[in-house]
Amino acid sequence: MLNEPMSSLSQNCSDCPIRHRAVCARCDGDELSQLEEMKYYRTFEPGRTIVWSGDRMDFVASVVSGIATLSQTMEDGRTQMVGLMLPSDFIGRPGRTTSAYNVVATTDVVMCCFRKKPFEAMIERTPHIAHRLLEMTLDELDAAREWMLVLGRKTAREKIASLLSIIARRDASLQLRGTQGPLVFDLPLTREAMADYLGLTLETVSRQMSALKRDGVIELQGKRHVTVPDFNRLMEEAGDDADGGLLV
């Protein structure tokens, strides 16, 4: 079960797939070569834990490819996913030595890691990085707050529709497709992972997926392959304004 061989990973920042979106997006050539000195790649298989909550973390990292989740767990095992980390997202917190969350790979994941100390020092002297990191953190804060509305006030059906529309939207924007015409994508999450993200049980997730399928909001080929014939319909089911642009 090999994922992309290391040889295909750009050792060279200039042709990195997340070059223009990651924390290094605004760096110039000189700054990039400083980063190249402190960076190294790591890969993880699906299901593998990248960091445990409470563990010492002496690196920060960008997701280069694949999907990872951030989650919190209570003593009795209840767990809540608090973040979905996609390519270009940043993992780890400058100025903190331990992880506050479990970080788990849900697909094959490639990460571009930076040793923490040198990276922190570089933040101090490199406004390009500090500003990009601030911007990314503000975006994540907005996303977390949007998710609070989903968790606190939406019904199970709306929660499922919300999750599907987020994944569909992201997929469409990666593939540069418009919102017209059917959207097709693969669910990167198991029913249980969806439940942990939505604050539901996996049975409720399954039932609501079946209901959305029965009502023609989505079509399923197998368990993971999803077709959305009408994106606006999905948005309505999510309880969102249908005019919320696709290109966010």
Partner DNA sequence: CGGGCCTTTGAGATACGTCAAATTGGGTGG
Partner DNA sequence: CCACCCAATTTGACGTATCTCAAAGGCCCG
The answer to the question of residue 220 lying near DNA (CB under 7 A) is yes
Q: How far is the CB of 222 from a copy of itself (least distance, A)?
A: 28
The answer to the question of residue 233 lying near DNA (CB under 7 A) is no
Q: How far is the CB of 176 from a copy of itself (least distance, A)?
A: 24
**The only residue of 11, 137, 173, 210 in contact with DNA, by rule CB under 7 A:** 210
Give Cβ neighbours of residue 105 (< 8 Å, ≥ 6 apart).
44, 45, 46, 47, 48, 49, 50, 66, 67, 68
Q: Compare residues 11 and 210 and give the one whose CB is closer to DNA.
A: 210
Q: How far is the CB of 37 from DNA (least distance, A)?
A: 39
Element (DSSP H or E) covering residue 41:
strand 39-44
Q: Compare residues 4 and 142 and give the one whose CB is closer to a copy of itself.
A: 142
140 binds, among a copy of itself, DNA, none (CB under 5 to 8 A by kind): a copy of itself
Strand ordering across the sheet containing 39-44 = 39-44, 109-115, 59-65, 90-91
Contact 96, 31 (CB under 8 A): no
Site for a copy of itself in 115-174 (CB under 8 A): 123-124, 127, 130-131, 133-135, 137-138, 140-142, 144-149, 151-153
Q: How far is the CB of 141 from DNA (least distance, A)?
A: 25
CA angle 150, 151, 153 (to 5 degrees): 70
The answer to the question of residue 71 lying near DNA (CB under 7 A) is no
The answer to the question of residue 201 lying near DNA (CB under 7 A) is yes
Contact 13, 68 (CB under 8 A): no
Q: Compare residues 15 and 75 and give the one whose CB is closer to a copy of itself.
A: 75
**How far is it, in rounded angstroms, from Cα 228 to Cα 225?**
10
**How far is it, in rounded angstroms, from Cα 209 to Cα 223?**
10
